[in-house]
Homo-oligomer: A and B are copies of this chain.
Amino acid sequence: MERIGLDHGSGGEASHELVKEIFLSRLDNAYLRPLDDSAVLDLPSCTLAMTTDSYVVDPIFFPGGNIGSLAVHGTVNDLAMQGARPLYLTLGLILEEGLPLQDLISIIDSLADAAHEAKVSIVAGDTKVVPKGGMDKVFINTSGIGLIPNGVDVSGHNARPGDVLIINGNVGDHGMAILSKREGLHFDIPLMSDSAPLNALVSSILEVSHEIHVLRDPTRGGVATALNEVASRSGVGIQLFEEDVPISPSVAAACEILGLDPLYVANEGKCLVIVSRDDAKEVLKTMKSNIYGKGSIIMGEVTAENPGRVFLKTKIGGTRILSMLTGEQLPRIC
């Protein structure tokens, strides 16, 4: 077989063959192996984080990753942003009839590699096949659970005036990589998605500080939208310093050409960390020692004034309001 057929979604013989030949061989673990209706997991008494995300990114292969690695990173990061240690993911595939089998294999290979790096197991799965034309190539849902260690309490509601805002590197890389690939744009330094698992970085900072108040991954809607959520839920103001917002020259150039604001462009390997001022230096140092945190920088602060609002202090000394994203810049970005 060279392409996915409707019978791969029938639940019958072809489905079983696909599961054994393509999925189980790459994702094998003791929880998945029984292939029962549910995975069976032993857990200690705990506080659990649970999340879900569907991925419909177009194109499915892009510079710096593909929909498979993205589907692991995105859900692992959603768990990590709750302070949780991601443990188990489920995998829901919706495939278009006619999808080249080699594309599916490449996606599952990346997904398996990403799961391995993030130290999570895919414990249950489901595959549906939709007749050709009823959808576009591949959609993936991953849902996940993770353990929240005792004493960890991070939430979008916890930002406090005086806190400091740190980000772990350049903004806008994922969105601009997708857009440049989609539009066939070329730059001297190629645009690459930042898609990456952030759970190890998050674990390391939660170990050095008990004053991490908020963790947020600025995906759809970008940094500006994520910070607006936090400002609104915590009832605080947030001030960003434009000169400290890290942006790669390629992304800055691409955004200028296309008339986009990088603060609204999606990231898939970035973490907004809101931490007490006292602990900020130690947290920043710890972030910089992580492979995905080398570009970490303090880029803003939390204020008591202007609750619910986000402001940008511009390079020339002005101030402008950063509202939540309105409309849609880039459909199917993740």
Majority SS of interface residues in chain A? mixed
Partner of A141 from the list B16, B84, B141 (CB cut-off 8 Å) is: B141
Taken together as a complex, chains A and B put the C-alpha atoms of A209 and B125 apart, in Å, by 30
Is A37 at the interface (CB under 8 A from chain B)? yes
Binary interface encoding of chain A residues 47-72 relative to chain B, with 1 for a CB under 8 A from any of its CBs, else 0? 11111111110100000000000000
Copies in the complex: 2
Chain B nearest CB from A16 CB (Å) reads 7
Binary interface encoding of chain A residues 23-43 relative to chain B, with 1 for a CB under 8 A from any of its CBs, else 0? 000000000001111111111
| Contact B40 A48, beta carbon cutoff 8 Å | yes
Chain B nearest CB from A159 CB (Å) reads 13
Residues of B close to A78: CB separation below 8 A:
37-38
Which one of A39, A81, A136, A145 has the highest number of Cβ atoms from chain B below 10 Å of its Cβ?
A: A145
| Contact B13 A324, beta carbon cutoff 8 Å | yes
Chain B nearest CB from A230 CB (Å) reads 10
Partner of A34 from the list B39, B97, B157 (CB cut-off 8 Å) is: B157
Q: Looking at chain A, what size class is its interface with the partner chain?
A: 35 or more
From residue 141 to 160 of chain A, which have CB atoms closer than 8 A to chain B?
A: 141, 143, 145-146, 148, 155-157
Taken together as a complex, chains A and B put the C-alpha atoms of A47 and B326 apart, in Å, by 44
CB closest chain-B residue, reference A123? B50
10 contacts between A and B (CB under 8 A): A6-B328, A6-B331, A10-B328, A11-B220, A13-B323, A13-B326, A16-B324, A45-B45, A51-B90, A124-B143
